[in-house]
Structure 1
Amino acid sequence: MTEHLPARLGLSQQFDCSYLADRQEQLLVILDPSCYTPCKFEQLLALGFRRSGDQIYRPHCPVCSACKSVRVLAKVFLPTKSQKRKLNKAKNTFCVKYSEQQRPEYFSLYSKYITERHQDGSMYPPEQSQFDSFIFCHWLPIMFIELWDQDKLVAVAVTDCMHNAVSAIYTFFDPDYEHFSVGTVMILEQLKFAKQYDKEFLYLGYQIDECTKMRYKTQFLPAQNRVAEQWLAI
């Protein structure tokens, strides 16, 4: 499977793209139940796939190839001076915790984040059922990397864990703390976690050069994009 796609695949209907307003999106979906294990999913990550809830997919748009998988080489990553400043600022204010179980505070934090930051997106208005079906997974271990301001939960980075890689699924945070560059801090914390547990890659999902809000993914180097079935250095 490292060279070929599974035999059982599905193709979604076309729908409006979440990132490029003038485009239609279509997804290739894994239908083979044997692929829904951490080991097989790690191989699929290397083929440009990703998960949403329990489902594994990758973009398969008929006239667009803007989405490019991106992964950071976690073992050799070194933060820039700017990233170090953000980490140090956060270190003086916050405490980082790891949890393998969700907490009741997660949905209220997610709800505030979506309501204040993403009212124009497909996840607004936030709903508990939508949150659960998007974030959680029954066949894969998940690590929740948390940022705390004393007894207040500030941010959560939902992180999938495999043998040789981790995958950043979604980060949500309290918009009141945006001046701490929380989104950047949480990726740096995921990289620290990956390095601590000897993981080779942190997968960051899809980079879309034409979408301004997705360009942050190229700020963590060294990294690679998957282009024309090859992983190439950014």
Structure 2
Amino acid sequence: MISVPLWLTAEHDCSYLDGKLAQSAVVHPDFAMDTTLYAHLIEQGFRRSGDQVYRPHCDNCRACVPSRIPVAAFRADRKQRRCARRNQYTQVVIKTAEFNERHFDLYRRYQIARHEKTSDAAISREDYLHFLGSHWCNTWFVEFLIEGRLAAVAVVDALDRALSAVYTFFDPDFDDYSPGVFAVLWQIEEARRRKLEFVYLGFWIEDCRKMRYKIQYQPLQGLIAGQWRDIHFHQSDEE
């Protein structure tokens, strides 16, 4: 059994829930991390942001629920099947996790359109790589091409028994193709093809609109009180 050193961050305003304070348990940056060890940590509710591996450690709040899809049991719903049909001619190319100017330009467009960034200058190459890249993880930058144009990029970690969806960004011009949904569907099918067990989706937060959508991929499992349990979809969860 490997002992992993953790340290607690200072409390800060929560990025997901108004009026809440957040705190994380973070693997010490000097600790030697690799993909195999991370595969064990993600089963315990950890995620990575760049090279940093963390999990929420908030007093009196358990809103962030680590989530994963058991790929063998997944069944697409009607909306997801429509999305797959719309993307039947979408080309998918797996690239290594290297800096790519086209990816970066798309990332800046996405951030300005969806996350209220004010200009290209507010988004640096260093921040981009620090957020998405990693020196130790087996990471893919997966391109989705529609009619020859770069429509989306999904950043995916390939682990021993699973894929982990890190982040997806896309061209707002292709909203009608639901590229975020299709990226998840593709990861599920790719995990099946590779005979992997899970796709990890990060944290499901019931009271946060931008994190609630994950419940629509069923069956969905959440790490609750130390056990992976089914989280059931209700009609009120649908946006």
Instruction: Supply the distance in 2 between the matched residues of 1:179 and 1:18 (Cα, whole angstroms).
Output: 28
1:100 to 96, 111, 131: 96
1:73 to 59, 70, 73: 70
1:169 to 166, 169, 194: 166
Give 5+ residue unaligned stretches, structure 1.
none
What do you get for the CA RMSD once the two structures are aligned? Answer: 2.0
Aligned twin of 2:25: 28
Q: Any conservation in 2 of the 1:70–1:206 contact (CA below 8 Å)? A: yes
Q: Any conservation in 1 of the 2:29–2:52 contact (CA below 8 Å)? A: no
Partner-residue secondary structure (3-state), 2:190: helix
Instruction: Supply the distance in 2 between the matched residues of 1:230 and 1:45 (Cα, whole angstroms).
Output: 13
How many residue pairs get matched?
A: 229
**Structure 1 residue 32, shift from structure 2 partner:** 7.3
Aligned twin of 2:14: 17
Instruction: Supply the distance in 2 between the matched residues of 1:153 and 1:171 (Cα, whole angstroms).
Output: 13
Aligned twin of 2:199: 202
4+ aligned runs moved over 6 Å, structure 1: none
Instruction: Supply the distance in 1 between the matched residues of 2:133 and 2:228 (Cα, whole angstroms).
Output: 28
Instruction: Supply the distance in 2 between the matched residues of 1:99 and 1:71 (Cα, whole angstroms).
Output: 24
Deviations 1:173-208 (A, max 9, x none): 001111211111111011111111111010000000
2:154 to 153, 157, 176: 157
1:96–1:194: structure 2 CA closer, same or farther, 3 Å change rule? same
**Structure 1 residue 7, shift from structure 2 partner:** 4.5
Q: Any conservation in 2 of the 1:90–1:185 contact (CA below 8 Å)? A: yes
After TM superposition, the structure 1 = structure 2 runs for residues 1-234 of structure 1, keeping only pairs within 5 Å, are 6-31=3-28, 36-92=33-89, 94-102=90-98, 103-119=100-116, 125-234=122-231
State the AA in 1 paired with 2:95: S
Instruction: Supply the distance in 1 between the matched residues of 2:135 and 2:107 (Cα, whole angstroms).
Output: 20
**TM-score under structure 1 normalisation?**
0.92
Q: Any conservation in 1 of the 2:157–2:163 contact (CA below 8 Å)? A: yes
1:104–1:7: structure 2 CA closer, same or farther, 3 Å change rule? closer
State the AA in 2 paired with 1:99: K
**TM-score under structure 2 normalisation?**
0.90
Give 5+ residue unaligned stretches, structure 2.
232-239
Q: Any conservation in 2 of the 1:30–1:55 contact (CA below 8 Å)? A: yes
Q: Any conservation in 1 of the 2:97–2:133 contact (CA below 8 Å)? A: no
**Structure 1 residue 150, shift from structure 2 partner:** 3.0
Instruction: Supply the distance in 2 between the matched residues of 1:56 and 1:90 (Cα, whole angstroms).
Output: 33
**Structure 1 residue 226, shift from structure 2 partner:** 0.5
**Structure 1 residue 125, shift from structure 2 partner:** 3.3
**Structure 1 residue 91, shift from structure 2 partner:** 1.4
